[in-house]
Copies of this chain bind each other. A is one copy, B any other.
Amino acid sequence: MQDFELDPRLAQDTFPVGRTAGCQLLLMDDSRYPWLILVPEIPGVTELHELDNTTFDQVSLAIKSISRELQAITNACKMNVAALGNQVPMLHVHIVARQQHDAAWPGPIWGHGEAVPYSEPQRQQLMTELAERLLTP
């Protein structure tokens, strides 16, 4: 099997939270929204529907669980879950906690203004909580 290597554009904009369900879980470095990206570690796949049935089920359940937990952690009024990939084709799923007072509400977050990086302590605290709550052992 071909080795999986994270797309450098995804790597550049994110911090790794950990691995779960055969995927890398990444935190976007944008403090405007709690914004996670789930990347199945399968080389060459660009569409959710290209996953084989077993992997598709595994990834779908991970999306469900992460979305539920991230909403609980953030008390978000709405979750946004999306596989787009127009700019970075490597299959990746956005799981974003939205608030009615966030920077882009009620519009989509993609392409909206400039990212506001986390401070180091803010990011460390969030990533610890995310790893504890979102990663299945």
Contact = CB atoms under 8 A, between A and B. Distances in A.
Interface string A47-76: 111010000110010011101100100000
Contacts of A65: 49
A60 B56 contact: yes
Nearest to A81: B83
Nearest to A80: B84
A49 B68 contact: yes
Oligomer: number of copies? 2
Contacts of A68: 47, 49
Given A57-B57, A98-B86, A105-B86, A78 B110 contact: no
Contacts of A83: 79-82
A117 interface: no
Chain A: number of interface residues, binned into ranges: 20 to 34
A78 B46 contact: yes
Contacts of A107: 86, 110-111
Contacts of A57: 57, 60
6 contacts: A47-B68, A49-B65, A79-B83, A84-B108, A86-B107, A108-B108
